[in-house]
Amino acid sequence: MVARPGCSPAGQSERAGPWARRRWQQEPEEHDYPAAASYLSLIAPSEVVEATVSALRSAPINTHKAKDVLGASQLPLLPRDNKHVDHDLHKIAKNKPLSPVLIIRGHLTCGIPAQIADGYHRVCASYHVDENVNIPARIADYPR
């Protein structure tokens, strides 16, 4: 892959500085998948959860702006003083990379929002720093 001038390998603008380029890990952490499964088990039966987590593991990583992830999920922006958002903001301040988020695609015509299966606090922390920052995410569809 040939890098375009002015862009980092992750596709983030060089203008964002080293903070944006080093902000994210290459892959989700292994414990993110059981966390996603735990959340999904509240809204789907176990066979759907297993298939969805499997789809998340194999989904490519794409980037989306923090404001778009929040908008598609229809979740509120958690405040900076939320314990977990604050924890992620401290990681960002110390240039510690965050894990990419895991998302289940919504359904526009049915009015079903996207589900942030893991990483909601990371999305909110990122939004507080810059609503236009690109967030890497694995996105999967619910099995049909």
Q: Give the Cα separation of 35 and 33 in Å (integer).
A: 5
- Which parts of 1-141 are beta strand (E)? 61-65, 101-104, 115-118, 134-140
- For 80-137, write each residue's pLDDT tens digit: 999 999 999 999 999 999 999 999 999 999 999 999 999 999 999 999 999 999 999 9
- Which parts of the chain are beta strand (E)? 61-65, 101-104, 115-118, 134-140
Q: Considering the entire predicted model, what is its pTM?
A: 0.85
Strand 101-104, strand 115-118: pairing: antiparallel
- Could you state, in order of their start, the residue ranges of all structural domains in the chain? 18-140
Q: Give the Cα separation of 143 and 57 in Å (integer).
A: 14
